[in-house]
Structure 1
Amino acid sequence: MLRSLDIRDMLIIDRLELAFQPGLNVLTGETGAGKSILLDSLGFVLGWRGRAELVRQGADQGEVIAEFDLTESHAAWDVLREAGFTYDDTLILRRINSRDGRKTAWINDRRVSGEILRSVSETLVELHGQHDDRGLLNPRGHRVLLDDFGGLDSKLTKVRSAWRTLVAAKKELSEAQARVAELQAEEEFLRHAVAELDGLAPTAGEDAELDQQRRKMQAAEKIGVDISKAQQALGLNGAEGMLGDAMRWLSDSADQADGTLEGPLAALERAMAELSEAQGGVETCIDALAFNPFELEQVEERLFAIRGLARKHNILADELAPFADGLRERLNALNRGASDLADLNAALGIAQASYDKATSELTESRRKWAAKLDKAMASELAPLKMERAVFVTEITEAEAGPEGVDTVAFTVATNPGAPAGPIGKIASGGELSRFLLALKVCLTGAESGLTLIFDEIDRGVGGATADAVGRRLSQLAGQGQVLVVTHSPQVAALGDHHWRVEKRQTKDATLSTVVGLMDDERIDEIARMLSGDRITEEARAAAKALLPE
Structure 2
Amino acid sequence: MIERILIKNHLSFNEVELNFKRGLSVFTGVSGAGKSVLMGAIMSVFGLSESEARLIEADVDFCFDMAEFGIENESPNSFKMLKQNSTRYFINSQSISKKSLSLIANEHIKYLSAKQVNEFENERFLAVLDTLVNDESHAKNLENLAKIHENFKEIKRELDKINDDEKRIEELKEFAKFEIEKIRSVAPKVGEFDELMAVKKRLSKKDKIEQAWARAERIFELEGSVVEALHISEIDASFFEDALNSLRIARESLNMDELEDVDIEGVLDRIEAINSILKRYGSEEEALLVLKNREIELERYENISFEKHELERKFKEISKTQSEISSQITAKRESVLGEFERIINGYLNELYMQKIALKITPKSIDKSGGDEVSLSINNTALNKLSSGEINRLRLALIASSSEIMQSGNGVIILDEIDANLSGKEAMSIANVLVKIAKFYQIFAISHQPQLSSKANSHFLVEKNGEISSVRELKDDERADELARMISGEHISREAMEFAKELLKS
TM-score by length of 1: 0.65
Q: Distance in 2 between matches of 1:121 and 1:203?
A: 61
Query: 1:67 aligned to 2:53?
Result: no
The CA RMSD over aligned residues, in Å, is 4.0
Identify the residue that residue 350 of structure 2 maps to in structure 1. 383
* Residues 346/543 of structure 1: CA separation in 2 closer, same or farther (3 Å cut): same
Q: Distance in 1 between matches of 2:94 and 2:289?
A: 59
1:526 maps to amino acid: L
Shift of 1:47: 0.7
Identify the residue that residue 498 of structure 1 maps to in structure 2. 458
Identify the residue that residue 461 of structure 1 maps to in structure 2. 421
- What are the residue-to-residue correspondences of 1:27-426 with 2, within 5 Å? 27-48=27-48, 50-51=49-50, 54-55=51-52, 62-70=54-62, 74=63, 76=64, 79-98=65-84, 100=85, 102-128=86-112, 131-136=113-118, 139=120, 142-151=121-130, 158-179=144-165, 184=170, 333=300, 336-386=303-353, 389-413=354-378, 419-422=379-382, 424-426=383-385
Identify the residue that residue 487 of structure 2 maps to in structure 1. 531
- What are the residue-to-residue correspondences of 1:433-444 with 2, within 5 Å? 433-444=391-402
2:356 maps to amino acid: F
Q: Distance in 2 between matches of 1:106 and 1:335?
A: 59
Q: Distance in 2 between matches of 1:326 and 1:19?
A: 66
Contact 1:26–1:485 (8 Å) recurs in 2: yes
Instruction: Give the SS at the match of 1:452.
Output: strand
Instruction: Give the SS at the match of 2:126.
Output: helix
2:43 maps to amino acid: G
Unmatched segments (≥5 aa) in structure 2: 132-138, 190-268, 279-283
* Residues 324/31 of structure 1: CA separation in 2 closer, same or farther (3 Å cut): closer
Deviations along 1:379-415, whole A, 9 cap, x unmatched? 11222223xx1212343344454554444333212xx
**Paired residues, what number?**
408
Q: Distance in 2 between matches of 1:29 and 1:322?
A: 76
Contact 1:146–1:369 (8 Å) recurs in 2: no
Unmatched segments (≥5 aa) in structure 1: 56-60, 197-201, 206-306, 414-418
Instruction: Give the SS at the match of 2:70.
Output: coil
* Residues 185/88 of structure 1: CA separation in 2 closer, same or farther (3 Å cut): closer
Instruction: Give the SS at the match of 2:439.
Output: coil
Instruction: Give the SS at the match of 2:343.
Output: helix
Query: 1:544 aligned to 2:500?
Result: yes
Shift of 1:345: 1.0
Percent identity for Structure 1 against Structure 2: 24
Contact 1:93–1:106 (8 Å) recurs in 2: yes
Q: Distance in 2 between matches of 1:325 and 1:86?
A: 46
Contact 1:462–1:488 (8 Å) recurs in 2: no
* Residues 452/327 of structure 1: CA separation in 2 closer, same or farther (3 Å cut): closer
Identify the residue that residue 248 of structure 2 maps to in structure 1. none
Deviations along 1:359-389, whole A, 9 cap, x unmatched? 3344444444443321111111222223xx1
1:168 maps to amino acid: E
Contact 1:499–1:517 (8 Å) recurs in 2: yes
Shift of 1:15: 0.9
Q: Distance in 1 between matches of 2:45 and 2:289?
A: 66
* Residues 339/26 of structure 1: CA separation in 2 closer, same or farther (3 Å cut): same
TM-score by length of 2: 0.70
Q: Distance in 1 between matches of 2:59 and 2:485?
A: 31
Shift of 1:69: 2.5
Instruction: Give the SS at the match of 2:123.
Output: helix
Q: Distance in 1 between matches of 2:108 and 2:30?
A: 28
Shift of 1:335: 5.0
Q: More deviation in 455-464 or 15-24?
A: 455-464
Deviations along 1:332-370, whole A, 9 cap, x unmatched? 545543322211111111222233234334444444444
